[in-house]
Structure 1
Amino acid sequence: MRDEEQIRRRVLEAADRLFYAYGIQAVGMDAVRAEAQVSLKRLYSAFGSKDALVAAFLRDRSRQWDAGLAAAAEQAGDDPRERLLAVYDFLGTWFEQDGFRGCAFINSFGELGGVSAEIAEAVREQKASFQDYVARLAAEAGAPPSLAPQLAILAEGAQSTAAISGDGAAAADARAAAESLIDAALAPAGAR
């Protein structure tokens, strides 16, 4: 990895830790510089502005989210129903991690979505991407299209509930509700 790429990665990892732990507005570029152990000049060379760094932070969080979901689905095997439920298993593991503070996208939107069109758009893109992912899993299970947004809303609600309550049980509660929705959606027409 080239030196510039290493610096960029260090800055991004430092920003991720700080923005997620304390919020975007509470963290200045000097704090990111100190955490990354780079000069301010190198930081601004890697990311021209705080807005650019925040956008990169959100893109990287989206990549992490997508990779985590894909790994959970892969662990669930070939059963489409279990692949759908793996979303909630992924959430359960995440909620139990030290430093869990909820969804970085929801948090970022709450902080800056009203004043930064770039952040609002990045958050909307991530949420749409998640809904598309759940829709693909639901289609693979043979469920009607209406199931996907219902399951996505359960996941989003579980994230907010776990962050506010500090209780990771929200994932298990959402998983149980998802099982009911999936089973009802997949039941033969006469059984509904």
Structure 2
Amino acid sequence: MPASVSTAPTTALAPRERILATAARLFYAQGVRATGIDQIIAEAVVAKATLYYHFPAKTDLVRAYLARRHDAWLGEFSAHLAKSRRRGLPALADALGRWFESGDFNGCAFINVTAESAEDEWRQISCAHKGALRELIAGRLDPALSPARRAALSAQALLVVEGLIVRYQMTRDAAVVDEGRALLASSRWVRTRASTSAASKGFTM
């Protein structure tokens, strides 16, 4: 969701910022594994010693990339939500639609990194990001709902949001947004069981 970054290095930026901006663009566009340190050095126009001074290992660079992505993505997603004419959960689909149409959409950076590597740290960082997104979603729900109900509904809505992201990444079909919006507006999918024993028997639509 963060705005596209020019492929040309911005040499006016401080070296650390230039390295991170370049790495972020490349990691998101082509993946962490496919992006080598030499490519980052060349496109950021820095010396190898400068890169390793700021980021001693590639994992340090990935960690900084995900931290920046977390803040930028949630900030822009919140801004898109505020622009939606819809209230409640359907606005989530509107915000996603704006992201999908941004021109540089390549899926969820956190899902992509986790899928590339079995590194537990990336999984934990990604789960924390999704937890923050779930809290943002919970903020769209009726504050009169019980904590348990809000937790259940926000978890279910997060599954829909994640599904929309992956589905659009696969198909690039704008109809995905309309389908997701209709699902988020439906009252059927958010029903929860009244008791633990009933829930153990499975979810029934």
Shorter-chain TM-score bucket reads: 0.7 to 0.9
Higher helix share: 1
Tell me how far 1:72 sits from its aligned partner. Answer: 2.1
> RMSD over aligned Cα, in angstroms?
2.4
Q: Does 1:103 align with 2:108?
A: yes
Unaligned runs of 5+ in 1: 186-192
**Matching residue's letter, 2:110:** F
Relative to the length of structure 2, the TM-score reads 0.77
Counterpart of 1:160? 166
- Deviation string 1:91-117 (CA, Å, 9 cap, x unpaired) is 1011122232111111111001x2x12
CA distance 1:76–1:164, shift in 2 (3 Å) = closer
Q: How many residues in Structure 1 have an aligned counterpart in Structure 2?
A: 177
Counterpart of 2:36? 28
Counterpart of 1:127? 130
List, as ranges, runs of 4+ consecutive aligned residues in structure 1 with deviation greater than 3 Å: 139-144, 181-185
CA distance 1:132–1:181, shift in 2 (3 Å) = same
Tell me how far 1:141 sits from its aligned partner. Answer: 7.2
Relative to the length of structure 1, the TM-score reads 0.82
Please give the alpha-carbon distance, in whole angstroms, between the structure 1 residues aligned to 2:73 and 2:104. Answer: 16
Report percent identity of matched pairs. Answer: 33
Tell me how far 1:75 sits from its aligned partner. Answer: 2.4
**Residues 23 and 107 in structure 1, CA contact (< 8 A), matched pair in contact too:** yes
CA distance 1:131–1:40, shift in 2 (3 Å) = same
**Matching residue's letter, 1:39:** A
**Matching residue's letter, 1:134:** I
CA distance 1:26–1:147, shift in 2 (3 Å) = same
SS of equivalent residue, structure 1 residue 181: coil
